[in-house]
Chain A
Amino acid sequence: MSSGERFSADQPITELVAGALAGHQTAWNALVKRLHRVVWKSVNMMTYDHEVRDDAFAATWLRLAERLDTIREPEKLPGWLTTTACNEVRQILRQRGRQHVSLTESWAGSGGGIGDLLDTLIDDDGEHSKGMVLDEQRRSTRAAFARLDETCREIIAVLVLADPPIPYDEASEQLGRPIGSLGPSRRRCLEKMKSLLDPEPGGES
């Protein structure tokens, strides 16, 4: 094994996985650098408990290390990592008997949305207020997401983060849910999310 082999995060994932399987720590490190954002985003979407989030992040890499040789299609690793990270959060929360979302999060209960904020803006200059509106829009989106049940958060996280998208059969297997329920669940979750974001469609203006 040539210890001088060099790997970088912009190489194809397939090469990095092959390098790691051949025992190269540098290939693994490049894989982590390449894909850590998707894991971090997944755990942050699933919980606001920092301890759970951090443990699930670390656990996801332990799972990948122990299962690396079972990854048949390395290019789908982002999807695999997303579902694994979601599973780890779910397991840790369940085992520790914790709430999924801290309702004390300052923004989690705010339902006012952009309309309320616009009402409070007084003669602001354009750029600043635009930034504030975007910030508020993001906050209200996260707040709506936080109000979804665990199943919906997982399904939407996978839809958002799995790139390329995971086929139903793989998502079904990785999420431990019956394949027949995924299509209807997905629609139900997206509709729920939409209604949380726009509680009274057409009611404004």
Chain B
Amino acid sequence: MNGDAAFDDLLVRVGDAFEHDLDPVPPSLLDAAFTAFSWRNADAELAELLFDSASDELVGVRGTSTERRSFRYGANGAVVRVHLTSTSLIVMIEPPLSVLCRVVTAEGSIEERTDDLGELVVDTPVLPVRIEVDLPSGKIVTPWIIG
């Protein structure tokens, strides 16, 4: 991205304006950044986000996203659907399989098996949350659902 010289001063000016009066990073946030590393799960394959209802609403109708949010992820030939409502979190594995699932949050994780239809329902956890699934083909993990 080579800029026109005419705009270079402008970019420097914007950079300086935000640099100069920037609050320091609160220590608790730096700690959160350090801790993020301990959540790394190098053994599991990161599932790919295929659909997020919040992003979809960009081009669609506004307004319902706070009531329910849906995600679809793909990994290892399987699809993981996650529905998040104000009261529950629903995980659906496709093709339907009874497999071990972990709902992981900063406060700990809940480990449960999906039923024969590949479904699991738990109380809505605190965010951020991610789902780890032990598929027969290997472990997969969804990206963090932030909020």
Which A residues fall within an 8 A CB radius of B? 20, 23, 25, 28-29, 32, 36-37, 39-41, 44-45, 54-55, 57-59, 61-70, 88, 91-92, 94-97, 135, 137-139, 141-142, 145, 156, 159-162, 165-168, 171, 186, 190, 193-194, 197
Contact = CB atoms under 8 A, between A and B. Distances in A.
A151 B21 CA distance: 23
Contacts of A68: 40
A57 B147 contact: no
Top 10 A-B pairs, shortest CB-CB distance: A141-B17, A61-B36, A28-B37, A61-B33, A138-B17, A58-B32, A160-B15, A65-B36, A59-B146, A32-B33
Contacts of A40: 22, 25
Interface string B37-69: 111111000100000001101100000011001
A186 B37 contact: no
A65 B15 CA distance: 27
- Interface size of B as a range: 35 or more
Interface in B116-134: 128
A25 B14 CA distance: 34
Nearest to A57: B29
B77 interface: no
B37 A66 contact: no
A159 B144 contact: no
